[in-house]
Amino acid sequence: MTTVKMTVNGTAVSGPVEGRTLLVEFLREGLGLTGTHVGCDTSQCGACLVHVDGKPVKSCTMLAQEAAGATVTTIEGMANPDGTLGRVQQAFQDLHGLQCGFCTPGMVMSAAALLAENPKPDEHQIREYLEGNLCRCTGYQNIVRAVLAASGQDPVLAAAQ
Ligand code: FES
Ligand code: FES
């Protein structure tokens, strides 16, 4: 066991890890941040996606020790300071971009990373960017709409205004 230190959702944290401890295990079991989900453990589904130093990372593919000293953001860090849902989270809720919700934390983190890179993505760019995030429920249509809405360009909402 060694002690790993990092900043998670703006707070300096530390905890014991083994060499084989994955970042997702440290987040969920070490820190109790269970909003980050484990869907496959094999880098397929994207449910475990978090931001590490601002970049999207499937946290089942990274050892906790590799994130030592890094700044990590999880879905729990996406809310506004007053506790209300953040912009991307709110858009997923408003546009029904989720059903069971299992994929949603990873989808939201991935969408937020896309919007940080490209504030006005088109539908094709959204689908391409979210390729690494699997959803068994929604058929993706409302997820794409939610990301469009979060970027201020949902065609249905615009038509209704
Ligand atoms: Fe990490 Fe599926 S649990 S990609
Ligand atoms: Fe169920 Fe995406 S909402 S897996």
The residue segments making up the domain with residue 106 are 87-154
The answer on 68 and 104 residing in a single domain is: no
The answer on 102 and 71 residing in a single domain is: no
Tell me the CA–centroid distance for residue 21 and ligand 2, in Å. Answer: 27
Tell me the CA–centroid distance for residue 47 and ligand 2, in Å. Answer: 10
Cite the DSSP H helix spans in 65-154.
Answer: 87-94, 104-117, 123-129, 141-150
d(CA 65, CA 48): 17
The answer on 74 and 6 residing in a single domain is: yes
Tell me the CA–centroid distance for residue 159 and ligand 1, in Å. Answer: 37
Q: How many CB atoms lie within 10 A of CB 23?
A: 28
Angle between helices 87-94 and 104-117 (to 10 degrees): 120
Cα of 46 vs its chain's centroid, Å: 8
C-alpha distance from residue 106 to each of 24, 79, 85, 126 (Å) = 12, 14, 15, 14
Do 49 and 86 contact (CB within 8 A), yes or no? no
Nearest to residue 147, comparing CAs of 100, 101, 107? 107
The tally of domains found in the chain comes to 2
- pLDDT tens-digit profile of 46-71? 999 999 999 999 999 999 999 999 99
The answer on 74 and 42 residing in a single domain is: yes
Do 42 and 51 contact (CB within 8 A), yes or no? no
- pLDDT tens-digit profile of 101-156? 999 999 999 999 999 999 999 999 999 999 999 999 999 999 999 999 999 987 66
The helix, strand and coil proportions of the chain, stated in percent and rounded to the nearest 5, come to 40, 15, 45
Is pLDDT larger for residue 56 or for residue 160? 56
Nearest to residue 74, comparing CAs of 114, 33, 111? 33
Which of 34, 43, 136 for a ligand 1 pocket mutation test, highest count of atoms within 8 Å of Cβ? Answer: 43
Is residue 160 in a domain? Answer: no
pLDDT at 3: 98
Is residue 144 in a domain? Answer: yes
- Going across the sheet that includes 2-8, the strands are 11-17, 2-8, 71-73, 49-52, 55-58
